[in-house]
């Protein structure tokens, strides 16, 4: 580039600094969003996979119906290690319990993981923070993230009830339980589990030595499955399922044990991996949308800039400048703008990515080894930041640089034929009584259709995302509110073994503040596959991916049953041998099953055949199978019993709930019924509220970023309009127009554009809300979210759009009001 061209570029940069600054901001903001998401996505994927796999998680867990002693478990583990495809195996157990801290009752349940003192901890590992495995016989390690939830510290004494039969989440086996007092000696970091605050329960880790003098029963055979010729765990759930099923059949045949279920969670995936994936996919979509909008905006701004310079291009060509030299000069100017935007966006992208990673890993309960994103992410951000503006500049740049001298001289910046809208509005101007200034502003709004579409489109896109995001939040709130409204009880008590409802009610009768008690049965189950082995996707926490059979008396009022049947029918009173599946159970276990089909379930250690009479739709619930009380009793071969109690209290305060929970637990325990956990309904509400909140915040952040880009687009459009109409404003001043009248006309144009964008956004906002609600609801609940349009969001956006338009056009209006007749005549 020659010295004269360099001087030309420097002068153009100074003369158009405000417009170029807007371009830099528009590119930088969208690049920040895109780059931050990219950094976050790469870092979260790396850290999540590394942390989860550092625990050497089991590919499958074979859950026995009854616990076995250490000798039998050792034989089962040896047999498992001989199975082709199994490279490691170990025997474990775990149980849920109420607990006390320093003899003070806590309404939070604790999940205790148990291993033998000589367990080498080569698989299904966890990491003590100070000590080593095993703890002393009188010690317990607690999950690091559970201390605050459990309001305890190292050195406190924890009291738990150890069931005699090992792990019994469903209470199918009678177990008197043994009370054990243990000192909190250390904390444990376990990245294979979801965070305790989200699940509203503590986690404890002990060795079998803690139950001194009593035999400990093991009921889990954990195995790692690899592909033939490989050393890494298999990434195929189908392969892990095949090996675990084959091994289960062999264990039942050779050792006489009964397999309750085979748990095969998705390989290499944290229990809350779907949350992080959903957030990142939403962010990537939003970042791409913001980048696309800014790209369109930059292309339009460059086109306006080059159009403004057409007379100068004609003069340069007249004195000998070639199209190539002119094109290179403008290309340098675009490169300067792109470089400035990239320099601004690069550190901001790293910071946004850092914050995103911190929040997502906290949601996953994972501690990062490093927050630094991979080097390649910076290279991608730089390539996009520099390459995209150059790419979008090519079309307007080539068109401007190739213009002929004659065409440049003839260029006047206007259109030769008025549009239909402009002609119609000009006709309105002849009607008496209408404000001439507002009519002129309205006519000027439609004067350049391409700019009108761009400005309205940018603002409408931001409004669509904002309203859809807020409406999605309303849909999520509706699910939480519906779930909370369905929880009409105050205290829920999970029994360690089934009991007679009459006996439980008589034991609770002396407890004050209880107005009503209902009992129901809730048993974990597995759906048998083609080989008859019951399979689930259950994770080691025994919650995520599990399937439960729920039964309640026909007159129950505190168990909310599904209201929407999407196939078949609901259960008839007293019906046996029939079940209704919710859509989550069907989708996760038997995608092809329908009403009228027969399935096999493992219930209480027995394989039973059931006819599916209906498929129900539920949101806010996990996998579920519904039957009648009589149906479950017939399957178990026992009289009707309950293992879950729900209690309504006279006052619904948290203090009353805690008091009743403690008193009811004590009364049942003293009466010989072991309580696994008792908790206030607020715990269930807090657990459901912690799973979807971050998603809404992410969508709102995207909407804000797009709103900023839209405001910049409006400011750019108005600035370009003022430049094109320099002579027009000069004429207006010459015939006596006051500066305030000119400012009023220009600001009114911006407000008209904002109102037009709100009208344009109305229907697409409804569509996007339905699309997001359907997609995210299906992802989270296998059912669409309730369709809700947030009226506050609509009002807020209309107000913000109008105020933003007024502010965005203020600078252009001020400039227009100061244009003199001399400047207008001197304008090229």
Helices 739-781 and 449-486 meet at what angle, rounded to 10?
40
pLDDT in tens, 508-554: 989 988 998 988 888 777 777 666 788 888 888 777 767 888 887 77
For residue 722, say if its preceding peptide bond is cis, omega within 30 degrees of 0: no
CB 582 within 8 A of CB 624: yes
What is the reported pLDDT for 592?
77
Q: Measure the CA–CA gap between 750 and 756, rounded to whole angstroms.
A: 10
Rounded Cα distance, 579 and 463, in Å: 46
> CB atoms < 10 A from the CB of 682, how many?
17
- For 682, the token pair is 């607020």
Alpha helices, H only, 217-322:
237-255, 273-308, 310-318
Question: DSSP labels for 580-624?
Answer: EEEHHHHHHH-TT--TT-EEEEEETTEEEEEEEEEEEE-SS--EE
Q: Write the CB contacts of 504 (distance below 8 Å, at least 6 apart in sequence).
A: 495, 517, 519, 642, 645, 668, 673
The encoded tokens of residue 239 equal 């392969």
Q: What pLDDT does 154 receive?
A: 94
DSSP 123: S
Say if CB 202 and CB 111 are below 8 A apart.
Answer: yes
Write down the domain spans for the chain.
1-56+268-411, 60-233+258-263, 413-488+685-828, 489-684
**Residue 808's pLDDT is what?**
67
pLDDT at position 688, please? Answer: 54
> Quick one: tokens of 581?
């599946």
Answer yes or no: are the C-beta atoms of 99 and 110 closer than 8 Å. yes
Q: CB-based contacts of 63: which residues, under 8 Å, 6+ apart?
A: 167, 219, 220, 259, 260, 261, 262, 263
CA distances from 584 to 106, 613, 624, 691 (A): 32, 16, 7, 17
| 287 Cβ contact partners less than 8 Å away, ≥ 6 residues apart | 30, 33, 34, 36, 37, 38, 702
Give the integer Cα–Cα distance in Å for 336 and 330.
10
CB 263 within 8 A of CB 545: yes
Decide: helix, strand or coil at residue 470. Answer: helix
Find all residues with CB under 8 Å of 803, minimum gap 6, and list them.
none
Dist. CA 528–CA 283, nearest whole Å: 38
Residue 606: burial class (beta carbons within 10 Å; 0-12, 13-18, 19+): middle
CB 128 within 8 A of CB 147: no
pTM passes above 0.85: no
10-residue averages of pLDDT along the chain (828 residues): 71 76 80 85 86 92 90 94 94 89 84 91 92 92 90 92 59 57 94 84 91 84 92 92 93 90 88 71 70 71 72 78 80 86 90 84 83 91 87 78 74 52 53 58 64 73 78 76 75 86 90 89 76 80 78 77 86 90 80 84 78 84 80 85 89 86 88 83 62 58 62 61 63 72 76 84 87 73 77 85 75 67 58
Q: Estimate to the nearest angstrom the gap between the alpha carbon of 378 and the chain centroid.
A: 25
Q: End-to-end distance of the chain based on CA atoms, in angstroms?
A: 25
DSSP annotation of 666: H
Q: What is the DSSP letter of 367?
A: -
Determine the pLDDT at residue 378.
92
Are the C-beta atoms of residues 204 and 112 closer than 8 Å to each other? Answer: yes
Cβ atoms of residues 707 and 467 within 8 Å: no
The whole-angstrom separation of Cα 33 and Cα 21 is 18
């Amino acid at each position: 580039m020659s010295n004269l061209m360099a001087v030309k570029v420097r002068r153009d940069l100074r003369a158009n600094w405000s417009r170029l600054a807007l371009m830099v901001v528009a590119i930088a903001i969208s690049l920040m969003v895109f780059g931050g998401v990219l950094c976050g996505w790469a870092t979260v994927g790396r850290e999540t996979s590394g942390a989860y796999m550092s625990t050497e998680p089991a590919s499958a867990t074979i859950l026995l119906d009854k616990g076995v002693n250490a000798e039998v478990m050792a034989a089962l583990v040896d047999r498992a290690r001989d199975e082709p495809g199994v490279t490691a195996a170990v025997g474990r157990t775990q149980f849920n319990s109420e607990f006390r801290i320093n003899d003070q009752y806590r309404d939070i349940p604790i999940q205790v993981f148990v291993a033998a003192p000589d367990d080498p901890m080569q698989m299904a590992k966890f990491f003590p923070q100070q000590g080593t495995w095993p703890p002393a016989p009188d010690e317990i390690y607690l999950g690091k993230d559970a201390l605050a939830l459990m309001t305890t510290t190292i050195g406190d004494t924890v009291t738990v009830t150890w069931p005699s039969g090992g792990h019994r989440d469903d209470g199918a086996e009678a177990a008197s339980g043994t009370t054990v007092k243990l000192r909190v000696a250390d904390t444990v970091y376990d990245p294979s589990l979801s965070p305790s605050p989200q699940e509203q329960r503590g986690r404890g880790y002990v060795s079998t030595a803690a139950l001194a003098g009593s035999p400990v029963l093991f009921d889990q055979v954990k195995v790692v499955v690899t592909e033939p010729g490989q050393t890494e765990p298999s990434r195929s759930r189908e392969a892990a399922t095949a090996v675990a099923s084959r091994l289960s059949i062999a264990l039942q045949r050779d050792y006489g044990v009964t397999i309750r279920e085979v748990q095969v969670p998705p390989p290499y995936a944290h229990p809350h991996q779907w949350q992080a994936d959903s957030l990142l996919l939403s962010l990537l979509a939003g970042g791409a949308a913001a980048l696309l909008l800014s790209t369109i905006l930059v292309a339009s701004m460059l086109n306006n800039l080059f159009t403004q310079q057409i007379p100068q291009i004609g003069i340069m060509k007249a004195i000998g400048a070639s199209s190539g030299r002119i094109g290179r000069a403008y290309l340098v100017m675009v490169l300067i703008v792109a470089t400035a935007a990239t320099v601004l966006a690069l550190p901001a992208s790293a910071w946004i990515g850092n914050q995103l990673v911190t929040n997502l890993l906290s949601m996953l309960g994972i501690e990062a080894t490093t927050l630094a994103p991979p080097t390649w992410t910076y290279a991608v951000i730089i390539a996009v930041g520099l390459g995209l503006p150059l790419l979008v500049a090519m079309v307007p740049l080539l068109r401007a640089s190739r213009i002929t001298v004659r065409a440049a001289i003839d260029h006047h910046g206007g259109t030769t034929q008025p549009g239909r809208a402009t002609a119609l509005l000009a006709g309105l101007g002849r009607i008496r009584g209408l404000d001439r200034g507002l009519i002129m502003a309205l006519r000027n709004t439609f004067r350049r259709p391409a700019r009108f579409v761009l400005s309205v489109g940018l603002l409408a896109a931001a409004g669509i995302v904002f309203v859809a995001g807020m409406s999605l939040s309303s849909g999520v709130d509706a699910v939480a509110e519906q779930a909370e409204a369905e929880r009409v009880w105050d205290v829920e008590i999970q029994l360690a073994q089934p009991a007679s409802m009459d006996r439980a009610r008589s034991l609770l009768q002396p407890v004050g503040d209880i107005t009503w008690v209902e009992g129901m049965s809730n048993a974990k189950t597995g759906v048998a596959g083609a080989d008859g082995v019951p399979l689930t996707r259950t994770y080691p926490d025994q919650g995520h991916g599990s399937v439960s059979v729920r039964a309640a008396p026909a007159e129950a009022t505190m168990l909310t049953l599904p209201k929407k049947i999407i196939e078949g029918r609901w259960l008839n009173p007293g019906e046996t041998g029939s079940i209704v599946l919710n859509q989550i159970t069907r989708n996760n276990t038997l995608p092809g099953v329908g009403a009228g089909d027969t399935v096999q379930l493992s219930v209480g250690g027995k394989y039973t055949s059931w006819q599916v009479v209906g498929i129900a739709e539920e949101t806010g619930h996990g996998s579920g199978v519904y039957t009648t009380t009589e149906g479950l009793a017939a399957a178990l071969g026992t009289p009707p019993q309950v293992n879950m109690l729900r209690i309504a209290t006279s006052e619904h305060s948290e203090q009353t709930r805690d008091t009743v929970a403690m008193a009811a637990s004590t009364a049942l325990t003293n009466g010989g019924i072991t309580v696994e956990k008792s908790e206030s309904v607020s715990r269930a509400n807090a657990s459901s509220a912690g799973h979807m909140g971050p998603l809404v915040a992410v969508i709102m952040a995207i909407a804000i970023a797009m709103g900023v880009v839209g405001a910049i687009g409006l400011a750019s459009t108005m600035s370009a309009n003022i430049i094109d109409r320099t002579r027009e404003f000069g004429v207006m001043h010459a015939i006596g127009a006051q500066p305030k009248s000119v400012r009023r006309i220009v600001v009114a144009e911006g407000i008209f554009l904002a109102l037009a964008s709100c009208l344009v956004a109305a229907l697409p906002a409804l569509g996007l809300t339905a699309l997001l609600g359907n997609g995210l609801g299906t992802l989270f609940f296998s059912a669409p979210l309730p369709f809700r349009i947030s009226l506050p969001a609509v009002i807020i956006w209309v107000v913000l759009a109008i105020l933003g338009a007024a502010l965005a056009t203020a600078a252009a209006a001020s400039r227009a009001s100061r244009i003199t007749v001399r400047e207008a005549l001197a304008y090229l």
